């Protein structure tokens, strides 16, 4: 059984940040500037940590449109870890083609108009593609602008049908398309017959609720109920009461961060003591410190194990741990996704023959029909489920939480061979039957 060691370092919480104005544009990575060379060098894991000559060419700009200022989600840790991996590529790998990578970000605050404005502004600044995004508004609003411009979108957390099917989207993990249905499979494997999902009243959540509801009877489940809540509501008791009224065996928490903690506590306050599952986005140090007891025994989805001793992931894990430690970032689902997405971008950009621009970057991404993954299951065009053409890696792992100072272990999911895949000694589960 693979054991996953937890790391509780963090300098970033998942609290909502203050208003940042109508649009926040931050150019946060001028990778060719000076820096702390001692901080960037290390002899541990996956890389020698040696310094190569700094790239001297014109920067290759990558855009990021994420929701940072919003009560439902904050993508700041994902963006910060993406920046950390860019620094690693520039400082230790010499950039790409003697050109440093530069990240230019925009906080869309989860608002449609701001997301579109972000896309136009970043495209005007000459980004060759986008990376590491998690947005409540991008898929339904700004993505058409990005598609029209022919810019690829790499990695990140896709949460809308538009992102799951776009010809310019290349996520390294399934995002919401995998997280919540995989939770349902895990609950069914653990014996649940009747489940409910408690999720925010957003269009993206409505889609995943339907996805789980459609899946549940096909895997032998009986009743399914979806209950929504307003993230800004002062009291989640009414939503929790509605969930427990039907006495479900399991409840999926369709939110992250401190909002998820409030939901879990509300369920406890109304007497629910059944099975709970949530995305690994909840497993951050601040939340564990606040609600470790409530999290005990919960099931969580993760893109891969969070340890340096997981089979053939060892070298990748050691490199990832080193980069996170150097930047005072925690080992979490968000930072794994950031590392994976940027490593994928690096491999795509390295494959470009000739000038690296928006057109050649997208062409190179489309030409790379498979990728071995980085701290994730492999990607392949052949893995993409019907109706989810951009989801080339539909696989996640499922773990059970045992306490803040304890290891977590992948659970054994029996009877779902059509949904499982073994890679690097790890069992991954997909929300979709294998082709």
pLDDT of the residue at 295:
86
Residue 199: closest CA among 283, 109, 136: 136
Q: Is residue 112 part of a domain?
A: yes
Q: Is residue 7 part of a domain?
A: no
Cβ atoms of 154 and 344 closer than 8 Å: yes
Q: Whole-angstrom Cα distance, residue 409 to residue 391?
A: 26
Q: What is the pTM of this model?
A: 0.84
**pLDDT band with cut points at 50, 70 and 90 for residue 18:** very low
Classify burial at 435, counting beta carbons within 10 Å of its beta carbon; exposed 0-12, middle 13-18, buried 19 or more. exposed
Whether residues 371 and 243 fall in one domain: no
- Axis crossing angle, helix 333-350 with helix 76-93, rounded to the nearest 10: 40
315-333: per-residue pLDDT in tens?
898 899 999 999 999 888 8
Whether residues 229 and 293 fall in one domain: yes
pLDDT of the residue at 120:
98
Of 362 and 434, the one with more pLDDT: 362
pLDDT of the residue at 306:
64
Whether residues 419 and 276 fall in one domain: yes
Q: Is residue 11 part of a domain?
A: no
Pairing of strands 195-200, 169-170: unpaired
**pLDDT band with cut points at 50, 70 and 90 for residue 379:** very high
Q: Is residue 435 part of a domain?
A: no
Give the list of residues 6+ apart from residue 118 with CB closer than 8 angstroms, or none. 23, 25, 65, 106, 107, 108, 142
**How much is the average pLDDT of 62-79?**
92
Whether residues 165 and 210 fall in one domain: no
The two most distant CA atoms of the chain are separated, in Å, by: 64
Q: Which domain holds residue 328?
A: 24-175+312-383
- In this prediction, what percent of the chain has a pLDDT beyond 70? 85
Mean pLDDT comparison of 127-131, 268-272, 396-400, highest-scoring range: 127-131
Q: Is residue 47 part of a domain?
A: yes
Number of separate domains in the chain: 2
The region of weakest confidence among 99-103, 271-275, 345-349 is 271-275
Whether residues 236 and 293 fall in one domain: yes
Whether residues 166 and 30 fall in one domain: yes
Whether residues 238 and 378 fall in one domain: no
DSSP symbols for 142-190: IHHHHHHHT-EEESS---SHHHHH-TTEE-SS-THHHHHHHHHHHHHHT
Computed from CA positions of residues 404, 408, 414, 420, in that sequence, does the dihedral angle turn out positive or negative? positive
Whether residues 47 and 147 fall in one domain: yes
Whether residues 211 and 280 fall in one domain: yes
76-118: per-residue pLDDT in tens?
999 999 999 999 999 999 999 999 999 999 999 999 999 999 9
pLDDT of the residue at 257:
72
**pLDDT band with cut points at 50, 70 and 90 for residue 292:** confident
Q: Is residue 220 part of a domain?
A: yes
Whether residues 368 and 330 fall in one domain: yes
Token pair of 192, please?
Answer: 């649940």
Whether residues 332 and 417 fall in one domain: no
Q: Is residue 125 part of a domain?
A: yes
Per the prediction, the chain carries an average pLDDT of 85
Cβ atoms of 132 and 79 closer than 8 Å: yes
The CATH number of residue 295's host domain is 3.40.50.2300
Q: Is residue 389 part of a domain?
A: no
Residue 218: closest CA among 433, 435, 434: 433
Cβ atoms of 220 and 190 closer than 8 Å: no
Q: Whole-angstrom Cα distance, residue 233 to residue 221?
A: 31
**How much is the average pLDDT of 352-380?**
96
**224 phi and psi angles, rounded to 5 deg:** -135, 140
Helix, strand, coil distribution of the chain in percent, nearest 5: 40, 15, 45
Q: Quick check: 371 pLDDT over 80? A: yes
* 93, containing H or E segment: helix 76-93
Residue 296: closest CA among 273, 270, 269: 273
The region of weakest confidence among 216-230, 268-282, 293-307 is 293-307
Whether residues 287 and 326 fall in one domain: no
Q: Whole-angstrom Cα distance, residue 300 to residue 310?
A: 18
Q: Whole-angstrom Cα distance, residue 184 to residue 196?
A: 9
**pLDDT band with cut points at 50, 70 and 90 for residue 45:** very low
**How much is the average pLDDT of 54-81?**
93
Token pair of 23, please?
Answer: 């649009």
Buried b (16+ CB within 10 A) or exposed e, 262-300: bbbebbeebebebbbbbbbbbbbbbbbeebeebbeebbb
Q: How many residues does the chain have?
A: 435
Name the H helices within 296-431.
Answer: 314-326, 333-350, 358-367
């Amino acid at each position: 059984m693979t054991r996953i060691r937890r790391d509780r370092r963090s300098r970033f919480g998942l609290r909502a940040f203050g208003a940042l104005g109508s649009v926040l544009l931050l150019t946060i990575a001028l990778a060719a500037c000076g820096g702390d060379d001692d901080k960037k060098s290390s002899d541990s894991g996956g890389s020698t940590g040696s310094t190569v000559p700094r790239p001297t060419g014109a920067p290759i700009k990558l855009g990021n449109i994420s929701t940072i200022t919003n009560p439902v989600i904050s993508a700041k840790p994902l963006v910060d870890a993406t920046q950390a991996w860019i620094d690693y590529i520039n400082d230790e790998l010499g950039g790409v083609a003697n050109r440093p990578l530069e990240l230019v970000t925009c906080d869309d605050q989860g608002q449609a108009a701001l997301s579109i404005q972000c896309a136009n502004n970043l495209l005007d600044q000459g980004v060759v593609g986008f990376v590491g995004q998690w947005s409540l508004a991008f898929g339904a609003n700004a993505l058409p602008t990005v598609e029209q411009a022919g810019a690829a979108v790499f990695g990140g957390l896709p949460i809308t049908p538009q992102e799951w099917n776009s010809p310019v989207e290349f996520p390294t993990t399934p995002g919401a398309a995998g997280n919540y249905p995989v939770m349902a499979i895990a609950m069914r494997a653990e014996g649940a017959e009747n489940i409910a999902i408690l999720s925010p009243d957003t269009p993206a959540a409505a889609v995943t609720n339907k996805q789980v509801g459609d899946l549940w009877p096909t895997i032998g489940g009986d009743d399914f109920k979806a209950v929504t809540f307003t993230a800004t509501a002062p009291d989640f008791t009414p939503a929790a009461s509605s969930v427990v009224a039907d006495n479900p065996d399991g409840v999926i928490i369709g939110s992250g961060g401190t909002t998820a903690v409030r939901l879990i506590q509300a369920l406890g306050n109304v007497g629910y003591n059944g099975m709970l599952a949530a995305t690994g986005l909840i497993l951050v140090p601040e939340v564990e410190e606040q609600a470790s007891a409530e999290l005990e025994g919960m099931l969580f989805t993760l893109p891969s194990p969070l340890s340096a001793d997981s089979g053939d992931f060892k070298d990748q894990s050691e490199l990832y741990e080193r980069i996170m430690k150097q930047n005072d970032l925690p080992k979490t689902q968000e930072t794994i996704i950031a590392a994976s997405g940027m490593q994928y971008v690096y491999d795509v950009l390295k494959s470009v023959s000739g000038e690296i621009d928006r057109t050649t970057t997208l062409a190179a991404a489309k030409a790379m029909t498979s990728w071995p993954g980085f701290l994730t299951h492999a990607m392949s065009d052949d893995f993409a489920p019907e109706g989810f053409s951009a989801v080339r890696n539909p696989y996640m792992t499922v773990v059970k939480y045992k306490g803040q100072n304890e290891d977590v272990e992948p659970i054994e999911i029996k009877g779902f061979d059509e949904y499982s895949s073994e890679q690097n000694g790890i069992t991954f589960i997909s929300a979709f039957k294998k082709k």
